[in-house]
Structure 1
Amino acid sequence: MTRLHPTLAYHLSATLGWKRLRPLQEQALRQLNTDSDALLVAPTAGGKTEAVLFPMLTAMDHQGWTGLSVIYVCPLKALLNNLEPRMRRYADWLGRTVGVWHGDISSSRRQVMMRDPPDILLTTPESLESMLISTGVDHRRLLADVRTVVVDEVHAFAKDDRGWHLVCVLERIAHMVGRPLQRVGLSATVGDPSGLLSWLQGSAERPGRVVASTAEADIAPDVELDRVGTLANAAKVIASLHHGQKRLVFCDSRRIVEELGETLRGLGVTVFLSHASLSVDERRRAEDAFSQSSDCVIVSTSTLELGIDVGDLDRIIQINAPWSVSSFLQRLGRTGRRPGQVRNCLLLALTEEDLLVAAGLLQLWSTGYVESALPPPNPRHIIVQQLMALALQEGTIGDAVWAEWWNGHHLFETDNARPLLTHLLSAGYLSQDGHSIFIGGKAEETFGQRHFMDLMASFTAPPEFTVLQVGKEIGRCDPMLLTRATHGPRLLLLAGRSWQVDWIDWKRRRCHVVPIEGSGGVARWSTSSSFGISFEFARAVRDVVLGQDPPVRLTRRATDALAAARIELAEVAYRDHTAIVRSPDEVLWWTWAGTRVNATLKASLGTLADPCSRPDDLYIRLRGDLDATTWREAGRSLPYLVDPDVDPQAVRGLKFNAALPQDLATATLAARLADHPNTRKVLKEPRLFHHGLRPSANR
């Protein structure tokens, strides 16, 4: 693949008016070939889709590929829908076809694709799993000609169990078609691209290369940090700035999206909302209207962090801060697409604590640090899901050959998977007759509803009620909003508007509403537990407290608030030490080490830690009667590190935990909450014990 197909080259120039390819696209044409895997890395809007598609279409024509030869996997259905028209246009020029297959695609459209498979199929990991285990899909015929799998936004998959699920499904497809599949990942900037590529390759022993965009002009972005105090003040700032421009505002929760959207609408701002609990039609209407407007705001959770096209953006505004540099880079990259435009972001911190976290993120970003994008360890629950899925896919599997379906992938080595298979057999999730293993009655009872639909996805979705107005879906709400005590009419806030509950269909989990004038609605959703900030992130916050200003523009309010925070925290932050501070009410160990380290320390310290407290990002609470002498004696024998304690409720939230022994389910979550390497770093650091205002050194 040393050059672009001449038909593509002609249409890019004559039809689209392209004068040249983007740097990453040029590099991909030179470096991608079908005998090796690759990871293409570029900022948001760096042209990654075309960078992989142009070489694939060229190879498809030159090498005479037939049938479904390229699977293109995305993390979001909306992203698939967004990409289809663009990819279809390129493919049409060469007489090739593109299809989309996900949960919202009708059965009739799927039947057409099964009869006449497209050359390129856009889909999700869950839909691939569905194809393999569904009795209504001839997956061997449909997937027989697959050669290449492209994984878009691969870093988004790698951060959680969807990544493990995807890799396992690809192994089964490769085994079924009898050849390794070329794997090409597309990613924003990550801290360990080679490690990410190696993970994506799975068991395949193929050469691989990272193709990173190096020729893009590196113009310093325009980043500003402000401290606004309240969400209402944030709305006033947003409403007063950047008139005539398109602004995308990121928030860290659906509740804040709703409240900010309602407040902005009350200030006369044209505003649209996007988050996971809004209906597909509601989000699509908002995104379409936003892409066609010129003076408006769209308020979103991370749903618009990925590459969904909402047109050219003028401004990015962030309420507080995202929880990683990688996420910040992704959001920052949504701007600066037009010639002469600079990437920009205005961060509005609500509280002093939020300001410190935002400043710490910007300080960490300024050093060039980016988190690695590797999935969580010990996915035992994914292994049991895969064993049951394979039994459904094949009907029966041989007790001596089942592991071959994953081609020697380390997850399915004997020590990892055999004990889990034994448990599934003994618990009735799988059954055995001679040398044949097949799905068991317990699996049908637990996961068999709706044709084993629950076995196809590696993530859980909390129960929600569908909210309808005159039969039209607006979105979904938390059941707690419908059961909590209230005085007067029950009001909901959804899609940036207040609604009065008319009646509730408890059996069908539906809530019928009518619109009301004004505000007063309440927004609330259950949230999954967060692992908080990392060790590196927490240490960057400490650097800010110690006087390091991030190299961005700080408003007067931000500067004054940072100065006040530095005075307040002066006796708990040190460059080369951690501090244990005893006050009349409590004893806090200021580790500045992040949530995972502090959770590991709390578990490992045993009786020295306060058993009733939860670890904070920056400190842990120690036993109330602890003094310098007691600590000095205890410090002579530093603890053996153990994984953090796990809340039983959290175990119940682990998908497929029912098919795991309870101790292994708990151990899986505990290992994911721990950070042993950085905990050892903290334990090696000197500690100062503050009794009153006088520090005493204690090792």
Structure 2
Amino acid sequence: MTETQSSSFHLLDERIQRFIWAEGWESLRDAQEAAIPLILPGERDVIVAAATAAGKTEAAFLPALTHLLQREVPGLIVYISPLKALINDQFGRLERLCEQLEVPVWPWHGDISSSSKTRFLSKRQGVLLITPESLEALLCNRGTAVSAVFGEAAFFVVDELHAFIGSERGKQLQSLMHRIDVAIGRKVPRIGLSATLGDMGMAADFLRPGAGERVAVVESKSSGAELKVLVKGYEEPAVVQSDDGKEDSEPSTPGLIAAHLFKVLRGSNNLVFPNSRREVERYTHLLNEMCLKQQVPNEFWPHHGSLSKEIRSETEAALKQKEQPASAICTNTLELGIDIGAVKSVVQIGPPPLVASLRQRLGRSGRRKGEPAILRGYCIEDALDPRSSLDSLLRLGTVQMAAMISLLLQKWFEPPRSQGAHLSTLVQQVLSAVAQRGGSTIGQLYSLLCAPGTPFQGLAKDEFAQLVKHLGAKELLTQDSSGLLLHGRVGEKFVNHYSFYAAFAADEEFRIVSSGRMLGTLPVSQMLTQGQRILFAGKTWLVENVDEPQKTIFVVRARGGVPPLFSGGAGRVHTRVRQEMRRLLESSEPLPFLDDVAQRFVAEGRQHYADRGLSTECVVDLGRELLLLTWLGDAANEAIAALLIRRGFVANLAGPGVEVRKDGHTAEEVLDALGDAAVDEPPPLDVLLQDAKNLQREKWDWALPDDLLRKTYASLNLDLDEALDWARISALRA
């Protein structure tokens, strides 16, 4: 590479230039060429968006390190990652280069020794690699030293930016960076790195709240690898007979899928994504058994958040070593950018949670020059019989998978719900700021966290005062005679426990209990109401009560009626996905990425859709229930259900629509009620969600006053505008 080939290469420090030569780079990537002159002066915020393995890390660090080397006073780059494993990877990548530059690199997370952390605190220069949780702990426990530790901070580098936007951790991260800015009295330039960003304006607003228009954006134009897709369909028999002739409650298709995976994946590295931890365990067990039976070395390893660090590390090590092939059966724990080497294919069993997840997962495959990215999909549908649900008749699982792949090929994926209030995280940040400062006034806290340009801007002063008063009632805060807010008896216990530093709660499932007997657990991603029907273990149940503190749903068997479409929390679906599903059902276009069985499923779904006249009919009579077929996303459907509940109906989310119990009501009465809702003044959230249970989703939701809990839940989970638009249109049609 010569200077004439690159306009940015000569801007880098000579030692970095020599390192690039020694590594045998033929040229800088386009993202690196564009990012270097923007980042190097250390004066502005920059987002670098490029495909996985397109050199984003180097696009940030080559100019940031050059800037550090040009400073008169030693400086600090703070690299923030969502994963400890990613920090360990980056440490390995950066240490070799930084050793030659005589720039120290400091990994900092729960597994790093206290002596290493003490050495960093004495030097406070180089590159600090840290998670948001460890940064939180640093601010809480060393509050008086924050300005000294970060006084010479030159950059915040936020990796996997998309993983933070619209989440509790994202709001926490915004708050932490802002609190450091306030402590040192200046704004530290921020660099965001991501492979999966749709709306650059939203990403820029997230990186620098209130000043997103001033963030420079670098988007790599280099095209990704060729993509090869094949989706196989499997039909689950209506009744499975075991060897002794009795009905078998275990499905047979996972065994068939595992056998196919065993055949096509052996001998190469792959990632397999079922949609739950339970399914990860199921497929890992099936594949391990096949290896034992065939007397071949095991190539299949589990990876999910409930496994111990040692087991996850074994899986990561198996993927990284080159002597033996290995495939991981995993949840989204391997979705982000841990360096696990080249992956031949990505397997998705059932529709993914999001199109964005599918895109992120596929970024793992096809990273070697000339190799395609390969997606293998598997869809399971129940065999049709006279009792089949509308879900089965329309083959919605396969149609959703096809719609998501279609949108992926159109380069669309879900924007995050960036407008979420995340008041749970505000509770944590109030307690953390009090710890950092050794006490604070209510005015100081509001100015720090909720004023314009801060992470929680938009919360009114009276609402914040109400929150602080409620935290006092919960003994999380107390006020001394001078008006200074301090930790209360309960608050002190929480803040002094290591679990405080995480803004998010560990994934929790609700226990399902019937007549005192626990039936199992279920992840729940929507509000529940008494009288609602849910599907669990292949049977239909009526919700009697929801005990939120104990995370328990009390149910009784429902008699008669078709099974409900709600069967748990597999991820919240966006309206664009449902609209694409509807388009595919109304279309006759071939879907070449489906095998013959999956093609048959789609043909059956299209036929039933046409036979029922669903292109013009929005109400389906299910016997004891009516289904409003909206083809909207879960956020709008849940808002429609809430509007109907407010008017005395029993309604709940049901796949591409809303299920309403008749109780003597006609379809016209239901639509009339929605029509009234569409012309009335939109109800206050306090009223709209008055009868809703299980609204506590985030870690500190239990500490919120009821009206603020409803406000934060609605901001994250309801789309009232979209719901009312649909209600208006439906009322006009009726």
Query: What is the CA–CA distance in structure 2 between the aligned matches of 1:561 and 1:617, rounded to whole Å?
Result: 18
Q: Indicate the residue corresponding to 2:304 in structure 1.
A: 275
1:235 aligns with one of 258, 270, 275: 258
| Contact 1:31-1:211 within 8 A present in 2 as well | no
1:70 aligns to what SS in structure 2? strand
Q: Indicate the residue corresponding to 1:474 in structure 2.
A: none
Which aligned pairs between 1:540-555 and structure 2 lie closer than 5 A?
A: 540-547=580-587, 549=589, 552-555=592-595
Which TM-score applies when normalising by structure 2? 0.79
Distance change >3 Å, CA 609–CA 23, structure 1 → 2: farther
Which AA in structure 1 matches 2:60?
V
1:295 has 2:335 as partner: no
Residues 327-371 of structure 1, C-alpha deviations (whole Å, 9 max, x = no match): 111111111111111122111112243212201211222333222
1:223 has 2:223 as partner: no
Residues 353-412 of structure 1, C-alpha deviations (whole Å, 9 max, x = no match): 321220121122233322223435122222222222111111122454344434743525
1:366 has 2:429 as partner: no
Which AA in structure 2 matches 1:438?
L
Q: Indicate the residue corresponding to 2:438 in structure 1.
A: 395
Which aligned pairs between 1:180-329 and structure 2 lie closer than 5 A?
A: 180-202=187-209, 207-214=214-221, 216-229=222-235, 230-268=253-291, 270-293=299-322, 294-329=324-359
Distance change >3 Å, CA 441–CA 261, structure 1 → 2: same
Query: What is the CA–CA distance in structure 1 between the aligned matches of 2:91 and 2:181, rounded to whole Å?
Result: 25
Residues 91-150 of structure 1, C-alpha deviations (whole Å, 9 max, x = no match): 222111111111222222222222223411111111111001115984332222112111
1:120 has 2:100 as partner: no
Name which of structure 1's ranges 286-295 and 296-305 shifts more when overlaid on structure 2. 286-295
1:590 aligns with one of 629, 635, 645: 629
Distance change >3 Å, CA 552–CA 115, structure 1 → 2: farther
Name which of structure 1's ranges 355-364 and 289-298 shifts more when overlaid on structure 2. 289-298
Q: Indicate the residue corresponding to 1:343 in structure 2.
A: 373
Name which of structure 1's ranges 133-142 and 232-241 shifts more when overlaid on structure 2. 133-142
2:405 aligns to what SS in structure 1? helix
1:330 aligns with one of 360, 363, 376: 360
Q: Indicate the residue corresponding to 1:147 in structure 2.
A: 154
Query: What is the CA–CA distance in structure 1 between the aligned matches of 2:617 and 2:648, rounded to whole Å?
Result: 16
Query: What is the CA–CA distance in structure 2 between the aligned matches of 1:647 and 1:34, rounded to whole Å?
Result: 52
Distance change >3 Å, CA 618–CA 350, structure 1 → 2: same
Deviation at 1:649, TM superposition (A): 6.2
1:431 has 2:437 as partner: no
Which AA in structure 2 matches 1:191?
G
Which AA in structure 1 matches 2:317?
D
Q: Indicate the residue corresponding to 1:489 in structure 2.
A: none
Distance change >3 Å, CA 373–CA 658, structure 1 → 2: closer
2:343 aligns to what SS in structure 1? coil
Query: What is the CA–CA distance in structure 2 between the aligned matches of 1:65 and 1:49, rounded to whole Å?
Result: 24
Query: What is the CA–CA distance in structure 1 between the aligned matches of 2:713 and 2:674, rounded to whole Å?
Result: 28
Which AA in structure 2 matches 1:127?
S
Name which of structure 1's ranges 135-144 and 105-114 shifts more when overlaid on structure 2. 135-144
| Contact 2:586-2:606 within 8 A present in 1 as well | yes
| Contact 1:382-1:656 within 8 A present in 2 as well | yes
| Contact 1:610-1:621 within 8 A present in 2 as well | no
Which aligned pairs between 1:69-88 and structure 2 lie closer than 5 A?
A: 69-88=76-95
Which AA in structure 1 matches 2:377?
L
Distance change >3 Å, CA 346–CA 392, structure 1 → 2: same
Number of equivalent positions: 628
1:223 aligns to what SS in structure 2? strand
Q: Indicate the residue corresponding to 2:531 in structure 1.
A: none
| Contact 1:148-1:182 within 8 A present in 2 as well | yes
2:98 aligns to what SS in structure 1? helix
1:670 has 2:714 as partner: yes
| Contact 1:359-1:549 within 8 A present in 2 as well | no
| Contact 2:165-2:418 within 8 A present in 1 as well | yes
| Contact 2:225-2:371 within 8 A present in 1 as well | no
Distance change >3 Å, CA 203–CA 49, structure 1 → 2: same
| Contact 1:101-1:121 within 8 A present in 2 as well | yes
1:308 aligns to what SS in structure 2? coil
Name which of structure 1's ranges 168-177 and 287-296 shifts more when overlaid on structure 2. 287-296
Query: What is the CA–CA distance in structure 1 between the aligned matches of 2:365 and 2:642, rounded to whole Å?
Result: 43
Name which of structure 1's ranges 553-562 and 415-424 shifts more when overlaid on structure 2. 415-424
Deviation at 1:604, TM superposition (A): 0.9
1:90 has 2:122 as partner: no
Deviation at 1:194, TM superposition (A): 1.6
Which AA in structure 2 matches 1:332?
L
| Contact 2:268-2:325 within 8 A present in 1 as well | yes
Distance change >3 Å, CA 164–CA 573, structure 1 → 2: farther
Q: Indicate the residue corresponding to 1:693 in structure 2.
A: none
Which AA in structure 2 matches 1:637?
D
Gaps of 5+ in 2: 1-6, 236-252, 292-297, 382-394, 520-566
Gaps of 5+ in 1: 465-477, 487-526, 688-696
1:40 aligns to what SS in structure 2? strand
Question: How much identity, in percent, do the aligned residues show?
Answer: 28
Residues 601-652 of structure 1, C-alpha deviations (whole Å, 9 max, x = no match): 11112477751x5311212122423335545654653444555648876344
Distance change >3 Å, CA 631–CA 168, structure 1 → 2: closer
| Contact 1:43-1:329 within 8 A present in 2 as well | no
| Contact 1:596-1:675 within 8 A present in 2 as well | yes
Deviation at 1:257, TM superposition (A): 0.8
Q: Indicate the residue corresponding to 1:694 in structure 2.
A: none
1:685 aligns to what SS in structure 2? helix
Deviation at 1:657, TM superposition (A): 2.7
| Contact 1:245-1:314 within 8 A present in 2 as well | yes
Which AA in structure 2 matches 1:117?
R
Query: What is the CA–CA distance in structure 1 between the aligned matches of 2:342 and 2:691, rounded to whole Å?
Result: 44
Query: What is the CA–CA distance in structure 1 between the aligned matches of 2:257 and 2:288, rounded to whole Å?
Result: 13
| Contact 1:592-1:619 within 8 A present in 2 as well | yes
Query: What is the CA–CA distance in structure 2 between the aligned matches of 1:130 and 1:420, rounded to whole Å?
Result: 23
